[in-house]
Structure 1
């Protein structure tokens, strides 16, 4: 027997088995019924394909080929499956059925009674196959109908897939696969390749069998439990720990659950047929005299409010109200579900009180640290007045600037509402102003250029970064510009400049550049190993920030640092 004919026979048997299987799983389901009919019809066409492929004579093959012109009804069935599966409202209109099936039936009728769809039979290595007539108008119409119907069916299912959840979403995935896998394969073998006069065995029936298998599997595997929505709803409402109100359109209570009665300390009869606002605190009642949706079709409204129990106790609650609609237009009632949030409110108040207490404590700590550092700075300043040696005096000044750089950070922290982070741009400006004053810098002689990003650094990063800026700017002020260095040609405008740049760099990284256009760092100084105490401190602080530092001696001195935002 021809192996290709045998494949068609297997497809026939599989389709008939699937049709019976899916139907008997749920005979009352319209979806199962239409899928079963599709299985049987495709199986019938697969049997016809088997017959004409292994036919002995031309007449026999052509007879079966003419019957195969019933194929255009298959896209109609697939479109019908998609509409039932997605519960389309179009099926309520009888005209929809006419639009679904009329094209397929009409094309099949013309194909059966004329030679406009199949004009003959041709013997190929896989058996007999059809010959497209010279005037391929009807054949092209059939092809177009197949493409339109399958694409439309797939589009409907895909839209349903995007907005559905859980079991329905999984079913939609299998139905989509069952529609599109056969479609693309048969589009290639039955339509595209014959156009370029390249004939291959038609795989439509085989791939349709695969597609129907996927659909049947999805419907069977992800079937819904056999219980009614009413039974499920009653069971859920009765055992749920949330309180529950079912309201009519006039905001009167129709049903409550046990959790509601326990919360309010009332019986069912004391609530049913009463306005919903009777359970609220006095100042909240006006909010619930009327329907809170006010014609708005918004599906859910969330409200935080206050209940009043039978004993007069006020209970903070969080409500979710959802409308029950008929045909997405008329409101039938409202479902109100919520939680007692008394414990949450108590915890919230404790947290707020604790945060306020800790905020005040942190503010006081930063204030005292700042004051202590200020005292140290003042003591150093007083002590320096008795130092006569210039080198010793410079050491006092350096220590004082380091202390002040840390004091500025704590000063900003206690003045801010955020006690863990500081706006670093403002900090750098304060530090530069202090250093300029400390070294008696004439603004006409040295110009500061600041380019600071709007970054916020925590104290763990800000202190080492501030000390680095202090050390490098201090070095520039002390050594970069000797007397009368780098004046302009007219000897009136100074070109000396110190540049400070800080910007975000990639994720949780920063780039810091401090440069001057002065005389430059001497070549014999190795800033990483045997430099000054200030440079050794800078390298230590860079390591603390898990960063890197580079030196560029071109046109003065330029330090470039890349460091991380520290996490503790």
Structure 2
């Protein structure tokens, strides 16, 4: 076989391979498609060159040479590809396509149907080749068009190379080299040397193949120009830490990412095509997830966000997960499939269980603390009661009894906290009922003679506020029961507690004999009143006395914010 023809045949094989390679690198990319077209055209021209170089007769050689008049489309494609690569906006104008391809079409039609481009065929040592036409006008026009389109394409890529950085710069370098190198060598072998009557084997097809190889290497080495939204999406899905499964409309698994395969301990091929329910711990787990958002024919699926569920691994281990399900619909809103994205929350569940166990332990401990405090206060109250039996002086006895009631008021709070699920807040309405019942019993008050009216909002007060507030009520109600009603006198004691915004209003009143005239309660030496004033200050309150028709105390205060004890 003619070795020069063999070179052309190898160029034909390589071009077709590269065209297929570039196209399938990214079938959606416009640049890939046009480079593939260029490869196919150059490959076809290389095959034509192979045929005429080893043709057995002049007629067959001329037939194949005449087909080589397709060449003017090659520089047109090079120019078109360079405009696409450099993202030139002139391609938006449809007239540009006419400017690019019309000269090639005219030259081809004239060259194919006349002898203005191929003057004949002659036998050389490398095989059959073309003869220059007697009228070189069309040949010269073709040469000018080749030089113009080729150098314009190369210049555009070179300018783009100078302005680009990193990956784009490397891409432009390979495009630029792939355009200019064949052009320069072909210019020398096909135009310059023949013009000096020195004929050498035409290198156009071989060098064009070399140029296409440069471009293809750039595609392979620098992933050019395969970086598209589809490629990016595929890369994200394959590397994301969340697991992802895609189901068809029949709930069969179409695909899954590596994270899903890892968490489920399956190989991908073991799950593809299987029903989605196979990976759920509960029977019909997927169906139960979709039940509230999907009808029987799967046509009305809505997105399901962050639903907790359980998956089952290949080994049967149960994995708690958070799932989000979204529909894939076609242009007619018909369901095509379901996307399932989720996260393994096994570690989170373990942490929750640990926190819950710790919290339960602390609740039990705190409950025990309140229980012991209540018991200790009860013991103190009992000791005071026992000690009071040995006291003869009425004044001293009164002090003991007052102290006992104060201790009891605090003990009641801890008793309420001990019996409550909330160890930081007291149901104050219930507390006041218990406290006043105790005081009426402690001072042996007949409720038919002295009435009690309680009007309290449903309030939950913090322990820091409830204890001083409870002691204030204890002191004021105790004073009313002890001093406001002489023996045989009927009356009424009332307690009101209301909240408005962040402020509270406490009223403790009686319709008894009232306080002595000219008594300044804020300067009183009474331990009880001094304690009331001190406790009012503690809860950031102010107190006012109204002594019309008895005694009435109004206290405005705020709830005390919790403060660290340590």
TM-score for both structures, normalised by structure 1: 0.56
Question: Which residue of 525, 546, 551 corresponds with 2:519?
Answer: 525
Instruction: Kindly indicate whether the alpha-carbon contact (under 8 Å) linking 1:452 and 1:502 is maintained by their aligned counterparts in 2.
Output: yes
Query: Hey, what does 1:501 align to over in structure 2?
Result: 496
Partner secondary structure for residue 386 of structure 1: coil
Alignment of 1:26-175 (within 5 A): none
- Cα displacement string for residues 196-251 of structure 1 (whole angstroms, at most 9, x for unaligned residues): xxxxxxxxxxxxxxxxxxxxxxxxxxxxxxx9654453243223211001111111
Distance 2:316 2:427 in 1: 50
Query: Hey, what does 2:271 align to over in structure 1?
Result: 271
Query: Hey, what does 2:127 align to over in structure 1?
Result: none
Query: Hey, what does 1:552 align to over in structure 2?
Result: 546
Of stretches 374-383 and 293-302 in structure 1, the one that deviates more from structure 2 is 293-302
Gaps of 5+ in 2: 1-87, 93-226
Matched, 1:349 2:353: yes
Distance 1:470 1:26 in 2: 92
Distance 2:307 2:427 in 1: 37
Instruction: Kindly indicate whether the alpha-carbon contact (under 8 Å) linking 2:251 and 2:275 is maintained by their aligned counterparts in 1.
Output: yes
Instruction: Kindly indicate whether the alpha-carbon contact (under 8 Å) linking 2:247 and 2:255 is maintained by their aligned counterparts in 1.
Output: yes
Going from structure 1 to structure 2, the CA distance change for 1:26 and 1:506 (only over 3 Å counts) comes to farther
Query: Hey, what does 1:479 align to over in structure 2?
Result: 483
Query: Hey, what does 1:247 align to over in structure 2?
Result: 247
Matched, 1:286 2:301: no
- Cα displacement string for residues 170-196 of structure 1 (whole angstroms, at most 9, x for unaligned residues): xxxxxxxxxxxxxxxxxxxxxxxxxxx
Structure 1 moving runs of 4+ over 6 Å? 24-28
Query: Hey, what does 1:512 align to over in structure 2?
Result: 506
Q: Cα distance, 1:453 vs. partner?
A: 0.5
Q: Cα distance, 1:289 vs. partner?
A: 5.4
Larger Rg, first or second structure (1 or 2) = 2
Query: Hey, what does 1:430 align to over in structure 2?
Result: 434
Question: Which residue of 441, 447, 450 corresponds with 1:443?
Answer: 447
Distance 1:310 1:316 in 2: 15
Going from structure 1 to structure 2, the CA distance change for 1:230 and 1:522 (only over 3 Å counts) comes to farther
Matched, 1:564 2:551: no
CA RMSD of aligned residues (A): 2.5
Going from structure 1 to structure 2, the CA distance change for 1:327 and 1:479 (only over 3 Å counts) comes to farther
Query: Hey, what does 1:107 align to over in structure 2?
Result: none
Partner secondary structure for residue 528 of structure 1: helix
Alignment of 1:346-495 (within 5 A): 346-485=350-489, 494=490
Partner secondary structure for residue 285 of structure 1: coil
Going from structure 1 to structure 2, the CA distance change for 1:265 and 1:26 (only over 3 Å counts) comes to farther
Distance 2:328 2:538 in 1: 62
Query: Hey, what does 1:326 align to over in structure 2?
Result: 330
Instruction: Kindly indicate whether the alpha-carbon contact (under 8 Å) linking 1:300 and 1:323 is maintained by their aligned counterparts in 2.
Output: no
Q: Cα distance, 1:287 vs. partner?
A: 2.1
Question: Which residue of 522, 530, 536 corresponds with 1:536?
Answer: 530
- Cα displacement string for residues 399-426 of structure 1 (whole angstroms, at most 9, x for unaligned residues): 1100000000011111112111121111
Going from structure 1 to structure 2, the CA distance change for 1:547 and 1:393 (only over 3 Å counts) comes to same
The count of residues paired between Structure 1 and Structure 2 equals: 338
Going from structure 1 to structure 2, the CA distance change for 1:554 and 1:246 (only over 3 Å counts) comes to same
Partner secondary structure for residue 315 of structure 1: strand
Going from structure 1 to structure 2, the CA distance change for 1:327 and 1:300 (only over 3 Å counts) comes to farther
Of stretches 438-447 and 331-340 in structure 1, the one that deviates more from structure 2 is 438-447
Distance 1:289 1:558 in 2: 67
Going from structure 1 to structure 2, the CA distance change for 1:27 and 1:467 (only over 3 Å counts) comes to farther
TM-score for both structures, normalised by structure 2: 0.56
Query: Hey, what does 2:223 align to over in structure 1?
Result: none
Gaps of 5+ in 1: 1-23, 29-226, 486-493
Going from structure 1 to structure 2, the CA distance change for 1:451 and 1:321 (only over 3 Å counts) comes to same
